[in-house]
Amino acid sequence: MGASLLITQAMHGVVYGMLLFLVSAGLTLVFGMMGVLNIAHTAFYMLGAYLAFSVAVWTGSFWLALLVVPICVGLVGAVVERFFLRKVHVHGHGYELMLTYGIFFALGEVVKMIWGTFPLAVRVPDILAGSIPFFGNAYPVYRLFILFISLLVLAGLALLLMRTRIGIIIRGAVFDAEMVDILGQNVPLVFLGVFSIGSALAGLAGVAAAPFLTTYPGMGLDIMIDCFVVIVIGGLGSLGGALLASLMIGELQSFGVVFIPDLALVLEFLLMVFILAVRPQGLFGEKG
Amino acid sequence: MKNNKLIYLAIGFVVLVLLAVFPFILPKLQLNIVIEIAFFSLFVLSYTLLLGYGGLLSFGHAAFFGIGGYLTAIIIRSFPGVHLLLVILISAAAAALAAFWVGFFCVRRSGTYFALLTLAFNQFFFAVALKWSSVTGGDDGLGIKLGDMYLPFVGNIHMHSTTNMYYLVMAVVVLCMVGCWFLLKTPFGNTVAAVKDNEDRAWFIGYNVLRTKLTLFTISGLIAGIAGSLFVLFEEFVSLGCINLVMSTQVLFMAFIGGTGSFFGPILGSAVYIYFTEWISGITENWEFFLGVLFILLIMYAHRGLIGIIGFVVDRFRTSE
């Protein structure tokens, strides 16, 4: 295996890692704030991919899907938070967790009802369809486009969290929601907003993944396991941890598939178990 | 108090007699459903031990059900003459061993982390069952042929018969359930309750919380393994359906429909689940969606399950008198 192939493979890992980050970022942010691991999150991701397919078929424009679908999925997220999750909140985290699991299950069935069980292919716009030369190899433009989008989101999230007033409130709520509430902020509204943004990010990741990983009913479950491993390794509630862990898993999968195809998943679990044994709270997680 | 005990004994006796005569009064189709309810009750009970009594929410309980099931099929295929009770024992032991190691990593974290880790481990075992097809049959699964089972004083029993399978399953299930009932009455059962109530307090009083949780998880895995083994003996077939997330979801739904706060919730839950799915899958193709909606509604409005609803109605009735 030559150096240029190694570089290509490493790039594949970065691209998948960044896609994973798009999904796990919202998950880890919501968890940090509300203490709820939203299992339905990867169902939002799948919903995003399917909606992208339909929008692209109806309007013929992938760009429109990229714009509209995250907003729709964000709205679905808002409904789930406002009318389901908030009602169960008083019963404790266990019930919230089970509720999101129920929603994951029901959404998966809705998707099967509307779009059927066969994999669907979403066509990429012509500009993104080809390949460009890259260290002596041809590299698909679309993967670079995913990288571009996720870097954009990363920069946007960093700006929002670190440089704006809303960001201060969100970070404060992650640290101690009750205190922020007492200080006069409308914490339920912040929860709703963060949950919607997180869902929208999952939807965006779904749109981005639709042409790249194809759209099928198991896609939510498939990325869910990677997401959970990312969150365990990175530490629940930590964006930096999620980024680092996503890239680790991306690379592990990318090279694992080449060198030891059957054991790639096993390696992923061994890494997770190792981190758990050495540092149970994850790389960047707080003890708890 | 003494009077109550007598009443319970009488009820238990009547139930046992009823169970014993079922094969003579029920048509074969109904008998099959009763067998199904029996081993799923046991599986759900093992889950309720974890969730209801221990406060541990697992999304990966099918792992141990599946390990028990796969091992049963593999042993019977490799050593055709081996005694079925021995097969069940070995399968249960293997499931318990797996539960011990999974628990070893999982019980250190509680709440969300625990749930997420169990789910991840479940997917891991699923992937092993899928990829290691030379042993597990992969996508195709494994079929088994049941021979005779020798019992002292009775002789050889032909096991490829619904009635005989019914008695085997019932005997094992009732035995395990009685065992669980008494286990919850022991000091260990009280420790589990103390840990669920308040982990920190249990630590301070001097209980080893981690060891208690790990023991509970291992026992739960053992019983799930027995249930999985019975499942495969009954179906004479093992496939990925035993070990995938759908099975883990199913046990969660069954436990929740019955109610996780009561010992008899699992029996009610699995019976209602099986009859409900039987009924609704005849009406609509998208029955799983309605199952999901039912689950969401239960969590939102009746999170103590049917047992909780029944208790509520009975209380109302009593106070109005």
Single-letter amino acid code for the residue at A117 = T
Cα dihedral B113/B118/B123/B126 (nearest 10): 170
Q: Which residue of B has its CA nearest to A228?
A: B116
Residues B294 and B313: their CA atoms lie apart, in Å, by 20
Answer whether A249 touches B (CB < 8 Å).
no
Residue B321 pLDDT exceeds 70: no
A·B CB contacts under 8 A: 89
Answer whether A261 touches B (CB < 8 Å).
no
Which of B120, B131, B300 shows the shortest C-beta gap to A84? B300
Q: Which residue in B109, B106, B120, B59 sits closest to A225, CA to CA?
A: B120
The reply to whether residue B249 touches residue A229, judged by beta carbons under 8 angstroms, is no
- Give A71-85 pLDDT, tens digit per residue: 999 999 999 999 998
Q: Which residue in A61, A225, A39, A235 sits closest to B244, CA to CA?
A: A225
List of residues 6+ apart from A119 with CB closer than 8 A: A214, A215, A216
**Tokens linked to A59:** 């309007």
Domain ranges in chain B are 26-242
* Mean pLDDT of all residues belonging to chain A: 87
Which of A86, A88, A101 should we substitute to test contact with B (largest number of B Cβ atoms within 10 Å)?
A101
Answer whether A92 touches B (CB < 8 Å).
no
- Give B144-176 pLDDT, tens digit per residue: 888 777 777 777 777 778 888 888 899 999 999
Answer whether B256 touches A (CB < 8 Å).
yes
**Tokens linked to A110:** 């809705």
Beta bridge partners of A138: A133
Q: Which residue in B295, B249, B291 sits closest to B60, CA to CA?
A: B249
Dihedral sign, Cα of residue B58, residue B62, residue B65, residue B66: negative
Q: Which residue of B has its CA nearest to A267?
A: B124
Q: Exposure pattern of A133-165 as b/e (b: 16+ CB <10 Å)? A: ebeeeebbbbbbbbbebbeebbeebeeebeeee
DSSP per residue, A148-214: HHHHHHHHHHHHHHHHSHHHHHHHHHHHHHHHHHHTT--HHHHHHHHHHHHHHHHHHHHHHHHHHH-
- Give A38-82 pLDDT, tens digit per residue: 889 999 999 999 999 999 989 888 899 899 999 999 999 999 999
Q: Which residue of B has its CA nearest to A235?
A: B113
Cα distance from A262 to chain B (closest Cα, Å)? 7
Neighbours of A186 (CB within 10 A): 12
**Tokens linked to B202:** 């249990």
Cα distance from B21 to chain A (closest Cα, Å)? 39
Q: Exposure pattern of B131-161 as b/e (b: 16+ CB <10 Å)? A: eeeeebbeeebbebebeebeeeeeeeeebee
pLDDT at B93: 95
Cα distance from A263 to chain B (closest Cα, Å)? 9
> In chain A, where do the E strands start and end?
131-134, 137-140
Highest mean pLDDT pick, A158-167, B73-82, B105-114, B212-221: B212-221
pLDDT at A258: 80
Answer whether A106 touches B (CB < 8 Å).
yes
Which of B59, B249, B296 shows the shortest C-beta gap to A103? B296
The reply to whether residue A228 touches residue B120, judged by beta carbons under 8 angstroms, is yes
Quote the pTM value.
Answer: 0.85
- Give B90-121 pLDDT, tens digit per residue: 999 999 999 999 999 888 877 788 888 888 88
Answer whether B114 touches A (CB < 8 Å).
no
